[in-house]
Structure 1
């Protein structure tokens, strides 16, 4: 038994780790300490080693991974490498980015009971812990529900309940909200906050969503290239934003506004920002356009001296510009999955023209992915019709649309099948029987476009989640489809690569007069890149128009489980502000 003062503590000493398939280390000389009851945000560029570091903290590395590990990780005073992984896993819980990767039972109670049964606990204690864990995550009454019937947010809660039931002293979370809409994200983070503050569980969260996570934290770790480059308490972590911008890592939006307006303090919550900015900000552009300045500052920071954008080749225009060309015509579309009693899509109609960049937004379970799958004929309407370039999807197969329509799923692993990144990107052009020279030229062009040249010989499954996502997008883009469909392109992406990805797609699609449709919960992404927004609510199309109009209606946003960017919320509060309106209100945690 570890001494009481070490329970919930982690010590990392000169930690190095190299995967079996790699010649270079993923972790390079990390030294850090996690005190009991700490709440740490672990952030950094895509592929910097965040997920790998988390897996060393609960023993999956090296016990289940192989590879070469040196240095030491001690949890509660005991060496993780020396003690059995079964012991460490009782002390340290790990929640994966994708809940599907750790849910394999049919019924919720069976899923939670699995780990408890492996501990050999008596049945009455298992029952007690199942009920307690479900209550903790807000799923009381879900004990006998089928996991397949749950939304993404509910599945993530079940996965968290499985971890909570084991009663760990330390909770590790790898991008726990990347699949979730803003409301579900808020709910999950509130649960994690309560586990930390009320139960004293030590928390380490790896993620890019710093706006949501930073206000809950006591400490911030910044990683790059396998090294811990910054380890600071939360009140000092964002004093200097330069290290984050140099690495293309997102910083708290309100802290960035404060820096731009000349304040030394770095607010993380709206209440703090309202109290800090004593004078109403009259020029709304000063707040609302600050995002647009970031990509320019990031060019040249993460991909060589000139940056990715400067090096990106642009294909020549292949399709005559005709904005009246209709690529997709959806007419009275309704859809119901087999053996279910409710329509997932309900009487939806819209048209998609060449050259548009369209965002599909809505809560988890609103039908976004289902709609996207109809646009590539992977699903067929229960009623109504979908025409893709005048082809009725009820009568054509998805392979007939290959080369005309490309898709990237939310989980990129559903698309990746080749041995190397180069083979993955070249797969489409080869199967379309381009000449060897054309394939080689296309491959070189695409690898450069998507910042994958350095990874071309790597196995896709050895890459980080964000790198796999870029590889999947590159593979779909390699045929230059008329219509490119992206399901949650932000998943696992750092800010730099997300901005560069969307800018590159926007530029190339405009030049070639092609169309992009992407599903997202990210308001910034939509406001910056989309020319049009489709809002879904319970399978119904409740809005079809410009992003500005979509975000101008608070009731509509609430209906779609969306939130305004913090800068726009702040602008509204500042415009309504009176000298006494916030004087007596203490800062909230969120």
Structure 2
């Protein structure tokens, strides 16, 4: 006996008014009740746009044209009343703060329930049930603004779960989370799937942790077309070159296995066979003596009488590649803004090239230090992508031919060619992030501070960006990067600074950091990179073999 799919997308195409090319073209797929789907593709390929089609936001709010049809429970989505479809299709967006409109956790969940006319006597019970599902019941009366990044993601999830949707869509839910918070969120989703029979679509770039409970994957290419629909394992076997060409991320362990043993395709660490693991411990390189570029002494900063940064002293040397890591809310962004001269510390001082930071005028300071914000929209000042990158060059009165060559080259490296005339706010989140980086690296500052520059980026874009930063670093540009990506720390950084509750908990080479007990790393919300995890597994296997009779 055949049953109708929960969701059916038929020949869906979409074009924005400001673009000549379609963002989505000929999309066809079905989704059954209770199924879990990974929606993958390069940044800017239309994944979030497809989400807006599925929840009914498009075509009602679309400046452009939409073709094809979407059926939910056998009914065309265009036949639903405005806002009606959101009762059945719940979306948790990339930045959960964009969904919040109330002051407290309780009121935020109640807001959605009241909008769907939930009987007043049932609202309190539904709030409590939703908070228990995501382990936030102790925060019922807490102000939303005081929650950590991971807690905000869980609150956004609770708001949707309270309305009991048939389809839950998560748009890059772990992009802003530290490694431990990411795993915690994924375990929460997995447990919820066991308790409630909802259908799930997850849009992600970092796949580690999701593979254990996802049924299939739907892959879009850069033209917004479906080029694969099936299990990811089968896709790796059948179309691996296409995955690489489109910049589709694979689980970290899968990437490593393909590089060292192409016959094995594990998707999780539990699938790793020990017979192909062999490592020698890497040696911590000798530190080179370099000139001090910036020196910070006894920095502290507080906001609303709460200490964010507490008594931090450090030196940053010319040509270092520094990663700043730590839990959400540990003070990473606050410290970076203080070092860049964007935020003044409550106490302490900073010397840049042996001159007090407050003595630098703004123009000269920005020639020395470039800063890429976590939210790229905070730094856009012009109406087109081209002019955004050209802005600082025009201020320096560079020649037109120099501007054109520099901008064209940087847009190519950052995967923004063809978008020169687009408004920065019209770009996808991944494209906005790459544009924010492009606006900084087009200059020749001696130090670049970047706040999570790779989140939301596909594999190709991340590789291009990291290659560019590595090249700048080889030319003695100091790189300071805030990141939750342990692989980037392991493969690129020559120094890592770990913050814990506003203090420096560790300041060392990454190889020294990985020697810390795993319990200590977890306390800092960090995890070991895949290569080090495999190294430990290899050593445990060797110990087991040597101990066997």
Q: Deviations over 1:382-429 (max 9, x none)?
A: 222122233433555655522221111111111123211001111112
Q: Is residue 144 of structure 1 aligned with residue 110 of structure 2? A: no
Q: Is residue 411 of structure 1 aligned with residue 409 of structure 2? A: no
CA 1:261 to 1:488, structure 2 compared with 1: closer, same or farther past 3 Å? closer
2:501 alignment partner, one of 519, 523, 538: 538
Secondary structure of the residue that 1:36 maps to in structure 2? coil
Instruction: Give me the whole-angstrom Cα distance separating, in 2, the residues matched to 1:467 and 1:35.
Output: 32
RMSD: 2.3
Partner of 1:377: 341
Partner of 1:448: 412
Instruction: Give me the whole-angstrom Cα distance separating, in 2, the residues matched to 1:445 and 1:235.
Output: 36
Partner of 1:335: 301
Secondary structure of the residue that 1:16 maps to in structure 2? strand
Q: Deviations over 1:175-197 (max 9, x none)?
A: 01100001111111112222223
CA 1:354 to 1:68, structure 2 compared with 1: closer, same or farther past 3 Å? same
TM-score after normalising by structure 1: 0.86
Secondary structure of the residue that 2:182 maps to in structure 1? helix
Contact 1:219 1:237 (C-alpha < 8 Å) held by counterparts: no
In structure 2, runs of 5+ residues without a counterpart are 283-287
Q: How many residues align?
A: 536
Instruction: Give me the whole-angstrom Cα distance separating, in 2, the residues matched to 1:262 and 1:566.
Output: 15
Secondary structure of the residue that 2:440 maps to in structure 1? helix
Contact 2:251 2:268 (C-alpha < 8 Å) held by counterparts: no
1:516 alignment partner, one of 459, 479, 491: 479
TM-score after normalising by structure 2: 0.92
Deviation at 1:487, TM superposition (A): 0.3
2:514 alignment partner, one of 551, 564, 570: 551
Deviation at 1:259, TM superposition (A): 3.8
Instruction: Give me the whole-angstrom Cα distance separating, in 2, the residues matched to 1:555 and 1:110.
Output: 36
Partner of 1:252: 251
Q: What does 1:220-231 correspond to in 2, within 5 Å?
A: 220-224=217-221, 225-231=223-229
CA 1:579 to 1:529, structure 2 compared with 1: closer, same or farther past 3 Å? closer
Q: Is residue 282 of structure 1 aligned with residue 278 of structure 2? A: yes
Deviation at 1:94, TM superposition (A): 0.6
Instruction: Give me the whole-angstrom Cα distance separating, in 1, the residues matched to 2:355 and 2:149.
Output: 32
CA 1:81 to 1:441, structure 2 compared with 1: closer, same or farther past 3 Å? same
Contact 1:378 1:398 (C-alpha < 8 Å) held by counterparts: no
Secondary structure of the residue that 1:552 maps to in structure 2? coil
Partner of 1:180: 177
Contact 1:323 1:355 (C-alpha < 8 Å) held by counterparts: no
Deviation at 1:437, TM superposition (A): 4.0
In structure 1, runs of 5+ residues without a counterpart are 289-321, 582-590
Instruction: Give me the whole-angstrom Cα distance separating, in 2, the residues matched to 1:196 and 1:235.
Output: 22
Partner of 2:193: 196
Deviation at 1:510, TM superposition (A): 2.1
CA 1:395 to 1:139, structure 2 compared with 1: closer, same or farther past 3 Å? farther
Partner of 1:501: 465
Instruction: Give me the whole-angstrom Cα distance separating, in 2, the residues matched to 1:399 and 1:323.
Output: 30
Deviation at 1:27, TM superposition (A): 0.3
CA 1:437 to 1:347, structure 2 compared with 1: closer, same or farther past 3 Å? same
Partner of 2:488: 525
1:107 alignment partner, one of 104, 109, 122: 104
Q: What does 1:317-356 correspond to in 2, within 5 Å?
A: 324-337=290-303, 339-340=304-305, 342-356=306-320
1:423 alignment partner, one of 356, 376, 387: 387
CA 1:323 to 1:499, structure 2 compared with 1: closer, same or farther past 3 Å? farther
Contact 1:50 1:206 (C-alpha < 8 Å) held by counterparts: yes
